Amino acid sequence: MKKSVFAAAAMLGAFALVATGCAGGAAPGAGGNGGGGGDDVIKVGFAQTGSESGWRAANTESMKKAFSAENGFELIFNAADNKQEAQISAVRNFINQGVDAIVIAPITVDGWDDVLKEAKDAGIPVILEDRTVSASEDLYASWVGLDFEQEGRTAGEWVKENFDGKGANLVVLEGTTGSSAALDRATGFNEAIDGTDINVLDSQTGDFTRDGGKKVMEGYLQKYGKDINVLFAHNDDMGLGALDAIKAAGLTPGKDIQIVTIDAVKDGMTALANGEFNFIVECNPLLGDKAAELVKAVVAGDEVEKRTIVEDQSFTQEQAAEVLDSRPY
């Protein structure tokens, strides 16, 4: 079976090493917030985005498993219901509680400077997982996540390969506005279809949720009807919501409207294997072990990689049918 694997080359070690001390984290037991060194339990606050998608559920599970008591952690978990202010206040709470480290899956790119500075001043190291921020790299110790721009590019290349030269009409369901996942996927996708005759009819946010995807797709269908040939959804859940809207409009997903999405969670892969989706680019949610490894190293005062990109794959309908049963999420 041929899988297009990307980002592997950018895996561990491809980025500059930084001293965690430079990132603002004092080693526990050496002043700072104390605790966490040697055999001590490491107290970690994790500020999750919310529970918007199947991907997020798998990511939360991976994080909770990795930051278990068995692995030497006390985890304080917070899900911010996709609200940036709630996430920032959760991080402030972690600082007030004097945790040993903070992990954040930032909802949006901007708005993090102040609270990251507060964590740095308190001597609490911050690890980012999943999405990125626009704040200075000095304000966090490390980031582990995915190459969202490449994910968008891979989706766009598939659309180009299948629709260029046909004057096809495309609609887009964007992820959460201002998130690195939505911004970077749009950049990569647009770059890939640039110079083709593919006509982008519309592009609106469905906020990475099934309901959002369904509602926006209903609007598209009312406005453009049968003119739509292709849908690019920034995640599986929005694509799955769109399936309901497409069927309710009397059209056949996967045929009348071809669908490319990102994530490759179980429900998305099932839709792909059943022929309702046409192509999926994976976004691997299993970031917990690497995040926990980074936290342990940072708390111990060790050097860590500034950026770690985890490998993604992509799947056609046939490939999805082959691997569906063995998928871990």
52 scored as a contact of ligand AHR (CB under 6 A): yes
In the beta sheet, which residues pair with residue 202?
A: 171
Nearer to ligand AHR, 42 or 155 (CB): 155
Among 243, 262, 280, 294, binds ligand AHR (CB under 6 A): 262
What does each C-alpha distance from 22 to 34, 59, 207, 290, 297 come to in angstroms? 18, 28, 35, 20, 14
Task: Work out the burial of residue 218: count CB atoms within 10 Å of its CB; fewer than 13 is exposed, 13-18 middle, 19 or more buried.
Answer: middle
In this structure, the number of other CB atoms found within 10 A of the CB of residue 321 comes to: 16
Nearer to ligand AHR, 20 or 308 (CB): 308
Distance in Å, CB of 302 to ligand AHR, minimum: 27
CB under 8 Å, gap of 24 or more: what pairs does 112-116 form?
A: 112/88, 112/139, 113/139, 115/88, 115/91, 116/140
Among 20, 48, 53, 319, binds ligand AHR (CB under 6 A): 53
Q: Which stretch binds ligand AHR (CB under 6 A): 48-56, 96-104, 107-115, 311-319?
A: 48-56
Nearer to ligand AHR, 55 or 279 (CB): 55
Among 46, 55, 143, 158, binds ligand AHR (CB under 6 A): 55
Among 36, 42, 56, 95, binds ligand AHR (CB under 6 A): 56
235 scored as a contact of ligand AHR (CB under 6 A): yes
In the range 79-138, which residues lie near ligand AHR by CB under 6 A? 130-131
Q: Which stretch binds ligand AHR (CB under 6 A): 49-57, 92-100, 219-227, 304-312?
A: 49-57
In the beta sheet, which residues pair with residue 199?
A: 169
Residues binding ligand AHR: what is the number (CB under 6 A)?
13
Instruction: Name the one residue in this structure whose structure tokens are 């040697």.
Output: 38
HSE-up of 213 (CA within 13 Å, CB side)? 26
What is the chain's Cα-based Rg? 21
- What lies within 8 Å, CB to CB, of 172 at 6+ separation is 186, 189, 200, 202, 203, 204, 231, 232, 233, 234
Q: Which stretch binds ligand AHR (CB under 6 A): 3-11, 50-58, 242-250, 290-298?
A: 50-58
Beta strand segments in 67-174, E:
73-79, 101-104, 126-130, 142-145, 169-174
Nearer to ligand AHR, 84 or 169 (CB): 84
Please tell me what DSSP assigns to residue 227.
G
In the range 157-196, which residues lie near ligand AHR by CB under 6 A? 181
Among 6, 67, 112, 208, binds ligand AHR (CB under 6 A): 208
**Residues making contact with ligand AHR (CB under 6 A):** 52-53, 55-56, 130-131, 181, 208, 235, 237, 262-263, 283
